[in-house]
Structure 1
Amino acid sequence: MEAADEVVQDPESRDDTFKMKERLQKRHKARLEDAERRKEAKENHSVAQENVDYFFSTFNGERAAVEELLCGCLDADQKAVAERLEEATSKTVQLQKLLNDSMVFLTTYDQRKAQVALQKLQTCLNETREQAMPKKKFGFRGRTKASSATAEDTVVSPPADYNVVQVDGDPAGAQCGFSNKSDMVLVMTAEEIQKEDVLLSHLSNCKVRLYGTPSTLHLKHIDRCEILCGPVSTSVFVAHCESSTLALACQQLRTHNSKDTYIYLHVTSRAIVEDCHGVSFAPYSWSYPNLDEDFHVAGLDPKQNNWEQVDDFNWLAAGTPSPNWTVIPKADRKATWDP
């Protein structure tokens, strides 16, 4: 009897043994799950790195091809120059598309690096075009009649304290737009603006209507203006804009050194702000006849709008919203643009 009593465990001892086994099983399971997570993370990192490597390999190769095309413009005849510039422009647009499509796996640093390189390439393209194929500058004339039904339908009875000015069309020009104007209504039609690089600079207290599909749009030194623009094929660049309201549709938006500005945006990649504060965003809401057709011509998907996805290059704190931009509350959004 005494020997039998020695092999019988008391209930407390059995309970401790059970708990020990349970802890060991949980620990083993946790190790397996952790090992699986590390394996998956390693595989995902490898795939992401392969995507990044492919992107920069393709991007740098195409950029070099564009630079070679531009170098060949210096001593070529006019026909060859035109062909090279057309090919360089097409490749630059494709580079922008490649960057837009790659935003999902590129880091903010890589995005900025590629965009800076692309911006330098675009500047070089514009400078080469001006040097190799100089065009006459556009002029201004007083608006005596509406040049199209689109402009006539949209700009109605301007306020008495505004003057209305319209840009002369120069389809062969490298760049068009308005500069050094104040207290005016400025209009460009779809025919005048189609696939052109548009520049608006040093405008004060103006209302601007840009119909059609610009290739790129540059806004510089804009103060107390309302600027509405049709779909832009590639990028919109905004610098030194304050106390203004913008309606923009594009592949990518870059905004620098701007403040106290409302942006009604349709963007198919992401918006970027840098050295800005008091910038607010809402969905693009301007409308005019043929807008749907212009979206198609610009190559923008009207159903894909990432207006809330804003990267602030001055605010890299993960998980904490940037204080430099906000979303316009629905109740405060502008719905009616013209009288």
Structure 2
Amino acid sequence: MAAVEDRENSFTDENNCSTVQERLSKRHQARQEEAERRKEERDRGSLTEEKRDYFITEFSREKAAIEALLSAQELEQAASQTALLQKFLNDSILFLPSYDLRQAQAALQKLHTAINDARGEARPKKKFAFKARTKATDVKDVTHANADATHANADVTDAVHERIETEQCTFSNLSGVTVTITAQEVSQRDVLLSHLEDCRVRLQGAPSSLHLKHLQRCELLCGPVSSSVFVDHCEQSVLVLACQQLRTHNTKDTQVYLHVTSRAIIEDCSGVSVAPFTWSYSGLDQDWTVSGLDRNRNNWNHVDDFNWLSTTEASPNWTVIPEEERRSEWE
């Protein structure tokens, strides 16, 4: 009996020893894995900091070179270099802190403005006197309605194209018309649309920036914008946009079909709804290339509401358009 007990005690001791060794081995392995994980994090952090330092140095150098081109009135070369600098920023968004991103975006916007201002000073100014509002509801004769609308749209389009050539892609005070603007007219230029009612606007191409102000019951489709889109006082409209940054103010009851590589921002807005960008047209692929936007990075449903401070509840000022209600055909 004593021999049996000794054997059992010996087996128990061996089993306990084996269990302790296994625990020690697992603990040692866990320590090694944790040490490797921390090292990888340090390496990633160091690499990110190196990328950030490189970006800041290169961005500052290129910005100074563009400013020198502007001083020498080398406007087209300055515009070309600015487009490349915009692409450099777009490619660097993932590792840039938000402060550096905002600073770079502001610097690029100043360059775009300076280039367009210089172009305007170098170009002889013509007065643009298009003031009439053409309303589709004024056409009462059904037999001649299509012809009258065609002539009205042709007159408006001619006036818009004249303004594009002389006043840097701006037009306003239109009602009840359809206007199409080509890629050649807006490519890498600032575009301003203001005080439009019941209009359908098609902007093909890759503008440098887009400003939309005081739009009511409008449908606007725009090709990829290299930098920012600014929306202010827009109501009961549909906007189809692709851009690097979207900032929307004082806007309500408006749908936005969006491709945006950073996070969209709304402020003082209500009834804004979003869905992915769905417009397609001949030449769109080339416009994506010119814009420098990343087609694989789309934060369409990441919206920051500057009037909503809660971190636990979603903002009531914007929603996602249900898939069954989204539009994919625009013509």
Give the TM interval when normalised to the shorter protein: 0.7 to 0.9
- In structure 2, how many angstroms separate the alpha carbons of the residues matched to 1:104 and 1:316? 24
- In structure 1, how many angstroms separate the alpha carbons of the residues matched to 2:208 and 2:236? 26
User: Could you list the per-position Cα deviations for residues 119-163 of structure 1 after superposition, in whole angstroms to 9, with x for gaps in the alignment?
Assistant: 23323333333345453254548899xxxxxxxxxxx95998xx6
Are the aligned partners of 1:193 and 1:210 in contact in 2 as well (CA < 8 Å)? Answer: no
- Counterpart in 2 of 1:39? 39
- Counterpart in 1 of 2:118? 128
- In structure 2, how many angstroms separate the alpha carbons of the residues matched to 1:287 and 1:141? 32
- Counterpart in 2 of 1:107? 97
Matching residue's letter, 1:208: V
Report the secondary structure of 1:169's partner residue: helix
- Counterpart in 2 of 1:180? 173
Matching residue's letter, 1:58: E
Matches within 5 A, 1:288-299: 288=281, 290-292=282-284, 295=287, 298=290
- Counterpart in 1 of 2:191? 198
- TM-score normalised to structure 1 length: 0.74
Are the aligned partners of 2:226 and 2:293 in contact in 1 as well (CA < 8 Å)? Answer: no
How far the C-alpha of 1:324 sits from its partner, in A, is 5.2
- Counterpart in 2 of 1:61? 61
Q: What percentage of residue pairs aligned between the two structures are identical?
A: 46
- Counterpart in 2 of 1:225? 218
Are the aligned partners of 2:112 and 2:208 in contact in 1 as well (CA < 8 Å)? Answer: no
1:86 aligns with 2:76: yes
Are the aligned partners of 1:203 and 1:221 in contact in 2 as well (CA < 8 Å)? Answer: yes
How far the C-alpha of 1:30 sits from its partner, in A, is 1.2
User: Could you list the per-position Cα deviations for residues 48-68 of structure 1 after superposition, in whole angstroms to 9, with x for gaps in the alignment?
Assistant: 111111111111111122223
Matches within 5 A, 1:1-339: 9=9, 12-70=12-70, 72=71, 81=73, 84-133=74-123, 135-140=125-130, 157=146, 164=153, 165-166=156-157, 167-170=159-162, 172-181=165-174, 183-190=175-182, 193-195=185-187, 196-250=189-243, 252-257=244-249, 258-267=251-260, 269-275=261-267, 276-288=269-281, 290-292=282-284, 295=287, 298=290, 304=296, 306=298, 308=300, 310=302, 312=304, 314=306, 325-338=318-331
Are the aligned partners of 1:193 and 1:214 in contact in 2 as well (CA < 8 Å)? Answer: no
User: Could you list the per-position Cα deviations for residues 37-93 of structure 1 after superposition, in whole angstroms to 9, with x for gaps in the alignment?
Assistant: 1111111111111111111111111112222333x25xxxxxxx3xx2212211221
CA RMSD of aligned residues (A): 3.9
Report the secondary structure of 1:286's partner residue: coil
How far the C-alpha of 1:312 sits from its partner, in A, is 2.5
Report the secondary structure of 1:265's partner residue: strand
Report the secondary structure of 2:211's partner residue: strand
Matching residue's letter, 1:107: P
- In structure 1, how many angstroms separate the alpha carbons of the residues matched to 2:312 and 2:299? 19
Are the aligned partners of 1:138 and 1:176 in contact in 2 as well (CA < 8 Å)? Answer: no
Are the aligned partners of 2:160 and 2:171 in contact in 1 as well (CA < 8 Å)? Answer: no
Are the aligned partners of 2:194 and 2:213 in contact in 1 as well (CA < 8 Å)? Answer: yes
How far the C-alpha of 1:272 sits from its partner, in A, is 2.5
Are the aligned partners of 2:66 and 2:81 in contact in 1 as well (CA < 8 Å)? Answer: yes
Are the aligned partners of 1:141 and 1:168 in contact in 2 as well (CA < 8 Å)? Answer: no
- In structure 2, how many angstroms separate the alpha carbons of the residues matched to 1:319 and 1:46? 32
How far the C-alpha of 1:28 sits from its partner, in A, is 1.1
Are the aligned partners of 2:288 and 2:295 in contact in 1 as well (CA < 8 Å)? Answer: no
User: Could you list the per-position Cα deviations for residues 82-115 of structure 1 after superposition, in whole angstroms to 9, with x for gaps in the alignment?
Assistant: xx22122112211111111111212333322221
Gaps of 5+ in 2: 135-144
How far the C-alpha of 1:266 sits from its partner, in A, is 3.9
- TM-score normalised to structure 2 length: 0.76
Gaps of 5+ in 1: 74-80, 145-155
- Counterpart in 2 of 1:148? none
- In structure 1, how many angstroms separate the alpha carbons of the residues matched to 2:18 and 2:313? 45
Cα distance, 1:332–1:309 mapped onto 2, change above 3 Å: closer
